[in-house]
Amino acid sequence: MKCPRTGIPLTEINIQGIQVDISKACGGVWFDNFELNQFDEAHEDAGEELSKLLNKYCKDGIDVDKKILCPCCETVTLQRHYFSIKKTVEIDECPKCGGVWLDPGELEKIRNEYATEKERKEKGIQFVDEIYENSELKRKLDRRKSANIPKSSLLESIFKFLRPKALREDKDEFDL
């Protein structure tokens, strides 16, 4: 595999029994699907070891806004998105194989965001709850509940787009 930022071959290394591919050219790292989970928390020794190693190769001036191809799939463009709701670290993820590319310094930032996966998930749930509380969907569902409409009808109206139009009744009294 080649570094998606520099085109130089990646170096496969073993960190506490886990094979990852690092770029000695830029300090980035490739994680196969779900491998990042074993490095992303501050208390994980493997993450500390890898982070120190990557700092040796970390280069400034990498254009992280440039679209890059998956080093594993080779023809699939990686999708850039935030790692968590804090929106402090953007990662590149392959929509096909699920692998993740971290640019220089991103692993260290991820490790500093939350102490544990549990804390990250709790903050995510809290964020979704806050968004939902102020949403139009909640207001519409609350109106339906006050009219004593059964939950099955609520779910049916929410997911009616899954049914072909020809199968739906001509008029839904409680359209969203």
Residue 160 domain-assigned (yes or no)? yes
Asked if residue 17 has pLDDT above 90, the reply is yes
39/87 same-domain check: yes
30/110 same-domain check: yes
78/47 same-domain check: yes
85/44 same-domain check: yes
Asked if 37 contacts 2 with a C-beta cutoff of 8 angstroms, the reply is no
User: What total of structural domains would you count in the chain?
Assistant: 2
Q: What is the DSSP string of 99-113?
A: -EEE-TTHHHHHHHH
Instruction: Tally DSSP H helices, then E strands, for the chain.
Output: 5, 6
85/21 same-domain check: yes
pTM for the complete prediction? 0.71
The predicted pLDDT at position 4 comes to 97
User: Comparing 134 with 94, which gets the higher pLDDT?
Assistant: 94
Instruction: Supply the range of the domain harboring residue 95.
Output: 11-115
